[in-house]
Chain A
Amino acid sequence: MQQAMGLSSVDELFGVIPAEKRYPALELPSPLSEIEVRRLLADLAERNADLEHYASFLGAGSYHHFVPSVVDSVISRGEFYTAYTPYQPEVSQGTLTAIYEFQTMVCALMGMDVANASMYDGASALAEAGLMAARVTRRHKIVVASTIHPRYRQVLRTYTQGMGMEIMEAGRADDGTVDGSEVERLLDDATAALIVQHPNFLGCMEDLEPLSELAHAVGALLVVCADPIALGLFRAPGDCGADIVVGEGQCLGSPPSYGGPYVGLFACRQKYVRQMPGRLVGAATDAQGRRGFVLTMQPREQHIRREKATSNICSNEALVALAACTYLAVLGKQGLRKAAELCYHKAHYAAQGIAALPGYERLFGVFFKEFAIRTPVPAARVNELLWKRGIIGGYELAKDCPDLAECLLFCVTEMHTRAQIDRLVEALEEIGKQG
Chain B
Amino acid sequence: MTVPLLFELSSPGRVGCRLPELDVPEAMLPESLLRDQLPLPELTEREVVQHFTLLSQLNYSVDTGFYPLGSCTMKYNPKMHEEVARYRGFAQIHPWQDESTVQGALRLMYELQEQLAEITGLPAISLQPVAGAHGELTGMLIIRAFHLERGEEGRNVVLVPDSAHGTNPATAAMCGYEVVTVPSDERGNIDVQELDRVADETVAGLMLTNPNTLGLFDEHILEVADILHRVGGLIYCDGANMNALLGIAKPGDLGTDVLHLNLHKTFSTPHGGGGPGGGGTAVTEDLRPFLPVPMVASRRTIGTEGESAEYYLDYERPLSIGPVSGFYGNFGVMVKAYAYLRSLGQDGLREVSENAVLNANYLLHGLKGYYDLPYDRPCLHECVFSGKAQAKLGVHTIDIAKRLIDLGFHPPTVYFPLIVDEALMIEPTETESLETLDSFVAAMRQIAEEAKTEPEQVRGAPRTTPVGRLDEVAAARKPDLKWQG
Contact = CB atoms under 8 A, between A and B. Distances in A.
Given A77-B56, A282-B481, A332-B41, A64 B94 contact: yes
Contact of B365 (A5, A287, A320): A5
A414 B358 contact: no
Interface residues on B, range: 35 or more
Give the one of A21, A239, A279, A418 with max B CB within 10 A: A21
Contacts of A74: 48-49, 52-53, 56
Interface string A226-253: 0000011111100100000000100000
A164 B174 CA distance: 11
Interface string A254-272: 0111111110000000000
B57 A79 contact: yes
B324 A158 contact: yes
Contact of B30 (A28, A205, A281): A205
Contacts of B77: 82
Interface stretch (A170-178, A179-187, A214-222, A289-297): A289-297
A409 to B, nearest CB: 10
A77 B254 CA distance: 40
A379 interface: no
Give the one of A28, A304, A328 with max B CB within 10 A: A28
A389 interface: no
B33 A235 contact: yes
Contact of A95 (B264, B273, B292, B479): B273
Contacts of A338: 19
B362 A155 contact: no
Nearest to B254: A21
A342 interface: yes
A329 B43 contact: yes
A291 to B, nearest CB: 5
A378 to B, nearest CB: 15
B66 to A, nearest CB: 12
A410 interface: no
A286 B219 CA distance: 46
Given A61-B327, A86-B274, A257-B332, A13 B361 contact: yes
A375 interface: no
Give the one of B177, B342, B357 with max A CB within 10 A: B342
Contact of A284 (B42, B361, B470): B470
Interface string B333-354: 1010011011111111110001
A366 interface: yes
Contact of B61 (A64, A83, A293): A83
Given A46-B89, A334-B15, A34 B41 contact: no
A421 B24 contact: yes
B56 A70 contact: no
A363 to B, nearest CB: 17
B24 A157 contact: no
B442 interface: no
B98 interface: yes
Contacts of B332: 257, 260-261
Contacts of B250: 21, 24
Interface stretch (B128-136, B280-288, B388-396): B128-136
For the complex of A and B, the 5 pairs showing the least CB-CB separation, nearest first, are: A259-B327, A45-B89, A47-B104, A78-B63, A319-B272
8 contacts: A45-B89, A79-B56, A84-B69, A84-B410, A301-B166, A326-B52, A335-B19, A346-B24
